[in-house]
Structure 1
């Protein structure tokens, strides 16, 4: 087995991570549920790749994510920083024998559990109640409770823990000391640059615990909220990781919530955010051979939301879509190796993190930037005459991407799972492979190389998943006939699972994204009289370091620019 250690840094990264781990928890529950769909029982997915087995002091066996999560102090809501598995003694005020004056204690306001978390707690306290709920039909009382919980989540999610149904290891959740939850103020690279200084070793120790438990670690899955100060925290942490674990690849997702930079109040604010994005990307990409920018300015208005009903202002919504895509991309990392009966198996196309990084950063494209695309839900293989094909439905979740770009050196990794051959009939692994092969042969433009991974197991939709599906999506994610509209929304009570397709691609389509970072760094930070030069100095960046970043971005642009454009610009 080749294990993965996941790292989540920052508020939105943990919003994404909360949904991601809910998917894994749901898969584990369905695999052991006698009444669940058989497609979830023989998944041929090794969950030990992401999870670790343990035992509490009371001898209770545990199964928790191999995870280090970093966020602001006060960001865990009602959850303890030691998770929920280990009982802590109540904190008492210590006797102060060297001080005879008055002693005062300051404490943050208690954050109460919402209805969803109360329900989880009650179920875990009463095993008989759990069995009764799972064994019953949709009785009116249970149905009312579920609807009440969903309404509570739709209108009241404030923290990523509000909808997390997963138990975490007591060493997984870390709150930065001295940095209290106020995301609006923790909003640029400079403010986060020194936040890790006094705590870096402690966080590294936590990571070391999970890494040393691994028999053969295949890589780090690193998710960072790069819209504010946490990009600096992540860059410093990444530097430590690269120094200590030189031969372990890092798959880096740089995520931003929809609308992160919409409310620009002034030119000064625009310059600050443009410089932040350029510096953040430059620093993060220098520590990873494969970085995947994720997060559209408006997910609700994008082609990726064709069948979805997204409210951009809700991180609870947009993070669910991004987490679903990350789940799909990670499936090949934990596929059980296939045997001689490959055509009859439920998975095909296993690849580890190292193999994926090497594949997408090929052709001399080092420190590669990859585009993430998704089809959610994926259409049936035998679509109608006027419907888009499976590959045509893949739409970017990476911002500032050029469309209809022909890149003869493009490399793609596609994952399809839970697909339907036609309405109501799931496709076999062979049918999916044949359909994708045919689509590539008939396409006007095709990548130089495409690796395809296929699994029969669809994406399960757990109870705390938001109500973001359009009204023409069926119980199992099938696209029903009629005109598609988002006039009404469906959620986990109506949708049990959905077929998914996701793609990572190394392509010159990402050039506009890179060129904007290079242009903004030069214009606002390096050029004579640059408006942001003093700001960058206050962040601790000297001219030599900025020039090095500019050179690195220039090399990335040149590596992706078509030959005729490169020669024209010389």
Structure 2
């Protein structure tokens, strides 16, 4: 085995992680317990048997969040305690004491259905009973995103996602969840990278608890590849991540750390306040600028690869076959779905090694060490950016001449123009058009081909223009055609192609538009105007009269990701160094740094570190990363 331990730190990371694990669970369930997509499930999961002898898979994960962040779900083996007793309360004044306890938070209807059905032996159920159980589960799943998609009745209660545990399908091991003591769900006080220093019990107990849990998982591994980290590092979980990574580097010296820095969409994702003309001296602006600079500088040097991810505010225009509702930018549930899908596909090569289907096996399997080494170079800089196409356009290998002209135009266009859908007769596989770069700004990373230093491109479940699935050979030929159509550049490239599409889990937001078919295929000659007209003409989601579809009708979907080391990180890092310099020159910025344990000289050193990192991406660097 080549195990990977997953570490999740913070709310957005856990919303993203819940989608990520649901995608793994759905793929396993769709195969009836025997995966034929080439994925070895024991890379991410440990397994045991239940009393009936059936396998039970649990994520090899450590999940960290605030107290109360799991809502009505408890991941502990301990039985619920008795009601609080007033006699147990302590008081300095010696008078009567009264303990007031709030009621238990109810579990989501979806979680309740999962628990109810976990005790059913479906081998003994009739077809009609199984259909009723499935209908009940689907109805509960629809309630989860009713509010997020704007389809819930006004004033509806008990509808919509309140906690990431509301839609998590997999069973976490009791050792997996770690509550951040002294920090409560929904309470203020965790804003900013260094805010963990003000926790009631300090940061050390949390670091030791997380390190112990990772150590426990590692002891059960035969051949540990490394650790993949999802972290909200613009918050207190960033400072916590720094301390945890220091522990892990000592505990697991041979393990590589792949770090995904997850940024919220409803902010710029890093230092945008001052860069966009806002005041870096304001408390919020300075906090975001300093947090971004510290996270990038300190956490990238503790990781083998550092990948900042953020769904941009114009994602709806860049992914024109999706239907993102108003207000999606502030929803961890919706943003986490896109981030989870991107991470799931981008890291697919690290999980390959299992049995395959009749559509031929996947190509491009690799390990974590080789993958992060590919993305490192240029003086040791290890930043990478990711792009996503969802769903993937039609894969026609013989069409690469026309594709070259189309993608060349996309390469010359502005980011907004490049993201708009094709006005022509079809929606084609492309690594440039109809893709969204999931990176914080400013400046915006475009992942232009001529700026790439190294890339890993993954294509899953490609379909032909006819709607039929493409074989692995045809999909690889179509991907090669698309890559050849891009402007030439000197770039190391890793390519992974799997004929198996991504199985869309039941509790997934209904974000697919009316031009997407049940298997993720484009159902008609597509154009942005036609897709919008089909939706506008319908009486609502699922309207048969206009051909509009319910966004939850898609069972599987082709996905493409690019993860690239790019010279565009040079200006990106320079901007963060300049923003930090401006913030640290203000009284508010200096006070903030000192409160987090960074004196003025420390912030200057961080800025200098960012400038050195930026310089490693400059043209003419002695180390271009191509000699290994």
The TM tier, using the shorter chain, reads: 0.7 to 0.9
Q: 1:365 to 1:378 in 2, by over 3 A?
A: farther
What's the CA shift for 1:96?
A: 7.5
Q: Are residue 298 (structure 1) and residue 339 (structure 2) matched?
A: no
Q: Are residue 437 (structure 1) and residue 480 (structure 2) matched?
A: yes
**Is residue 392–residue 428 contact of structure 2 (8 Å, CA) maintained in 1?**
no
Q: Which residue of 2 aligns with 1:113?
A: 107
Q: Which residue of 1 aligns with 2:544?
A: none
What's the CA shift for 1:250?
A: 0.6
Q: Which residue of 2 aligns with 1:150?
A: 142
Segments of 5+ residues of structure 1 without an aligned counterpart are 34-39, 565-570
Q: 1:6 to 1:302 in 2, by over 3 A?
A: farther
- What CA distance in whole angstroms lies between the structure 2 residues aligned with 1:439 and 1:128? 46
**Is residue 412–residue 506 contact of structure 1 (8 Å, CA) maintained in 2?**
yes
Q: 1:148 to 1:210 in 2, by over 3 A?
A: closer
Q: Are residue 326 (structure 1) and residue 343 (structure 2) matched?
A: yes
What's the CA shift for 1:453?
A: 0.6
**Is residue 289–residue 367 contact of structure 1 (8 Å, CA) maintained in 2?**
no
Q: Which residue of 2 aligns with 1:314?
A: 331
Cα deviation digits, residues 351-391 of structure 1 (max 9, x gap):
111111100103x3424110111001111113876645422
Q: Which residue of 2 aligns with 1:286?
A: 301
Q: Which segment is superposed worse, 52-61 or 405-414?
A: 52-61
**Is residue 257–residue 319 contact of structure 1 (8 Å, CA) maintained in 2?**
no
Indicate the SS of the match to 2:568: helix
What's the CA shift for 1:484?
A: 2.4
Q: 1:12 to 1:515 in 2, by over 3 A?
A: same
Q: Which segment is superposed worse, 224-233 or 404-413?
A: 404-413
What's the CA shift for 1:305?
A: 5.5
- What CA distance in whole angstroms lies between the structure 2 residues aligned with 1:304 and 1:18? 22
Q: Which residue of 2 aligns with 1:168?
A: 172
Q: Which residue of 1 aligns with 2:416?
A: none
Q: Which segment is superposed worse, 419-428 or 141-150?
A: 141-150
Indicate the SS of the match to 2:464: strand
Indicate the SS of the match to 1:282: helix
What's the CA shift for 1:198?
A: 2.5
Q: Which residue of 2 aligns with 1:37?
A: none
370, 385, 398: which one aligns with 1:355: 370
**Is residue 224–residue 255 contact of structure 1 (8 Å, CA) maintained in 2?**
yes
Q: Which residue of 2 aligns with 1:227?
A: 234
- What CA distance in whole angstroms lies between the structure 2 residues aligned with 1:560 and 1:205? 37
Q: Which residue of 1 aligns with 2:23?
A: 23
Q: Are residue 369 (structure 1) and residue 386 (structure 2) matched?
A: no
Q: Which residue of 1 aligns with 2:557?
A: 498
**Is residue 230–residue 259 contact of structure 2 (8 Å, CA) maintained in 1?**
yes
Q: Which residue of 2 aligns with 1:205?
A: 212
Q: How many residues align?
A: 548
Q: Which residue of 1 aligns with 2:412?
A: none
Q: 1:88 to 1:556 in 2, by over 3 A?
A: same
Q: Which segment is superposed worse, 386-395 or 425-434?
A: 386-395
What's the CA shift for 1:102?
A: 5.7
229, 234, 244: which one aligns with 1:237: 244
What's the CA shift for 1:554?
A: 1.0
Q: 1:177 to 1:64 in 2, by over 3 A?
A: same
Q: Which residue of 2 aligns with 1:192?
A: 196
Q: 1:243 to 1:81 in 2, by over 3 A?
A: same
- What CA distance in whole angstroms lies between the structure 2 residues aligned with 1:133 and 1:319? 35
Q: Which segment is superposed worse, 266-275 or 252-261?
A: 266-275
Aligned 1:8-47 pairs, distance under 5 A: 8-32=8-32, 41-47=35-41
Cα deviation digits, residues 295-354 of structure 1 (max 9, x gap):
135254451465342521221111101100110012111111799xx9973211001111
What's the CA shift for 1:160?
A: 0.4
Q: Are residue 88 (structure 1) and residue 50 (structure 2) matched?
A: no
Q: Which segment is superposed worse, 144-153 or 112-121?
A: 144-153
What's the CA shift for 1:440?
A: 2.7
Indicate the SS of the match to 1:541: coil
Cα deviation digits, residues 175-206 of structure 1 (max 9, x gap):
01111112554211232235422332222111
Q: Which residue of 1 aligns with 2:430?
A: 390
Q: 1:296 to 1:41 in 2, by over 3 A?
A: closer
- What CA distance in whole angstroms lies between the structure 2 residues aligned with 1:59 and 1:439? 47
**Is residue 258–residue 296 contact of structure 1 (8 Å, CA) maintained in 2?**
yes
- What CA distance in whole angstroms lies between the structure 2 residues aligned with 1:90 and 1:116? 25
Q: Which segment is superposed worse, 444-453 or 533-542?
A: 444-453
Q: Are residue 52 (structure 1) and residue 46 (structure 2) matched?
A: yes
Indicate the SS of the match to 2:145: helix
**Is residue 402–residue 512 contact of structure 1 (8 Å, CA) maintained in 2?**
no
Q: 1:421 to 1:77 in 2, by over 3 A?
A: same
Q: Which residue of 2 aligns with 1:557?
A: 614
Q: Which segment is superposed worse, 394-403 or 373-382?
A: 394-403
Q: Which residue of 2 aligns with 1:335?
A: 352
Q: 1:473 to 1:534 in 2, by over 3 A?
A: same
Q: 1:535 to 1:553 in 2, by over 3 A?
A: same
Indicate the SS of the match to 1:560: coil
Segments of 5+ residues of structure 2 without an aligned counterpart are 148-159, 400-423, 542-548, 622-628
- What CA distance in whole angstroms lies between the structure 2 residues aligned with 1:134 and 1:216? 46
- What CA distance in whole angstroms lies between the structure 1 residues aligned with 2:332 and 2:186? 15
C-alpha RMSD of matched pairs (Å)? 3.2
Cα deviation digits, residues 500-546 of structure 1 (max 9, x gap):
11110001123343222111111111x4x565112211221023322
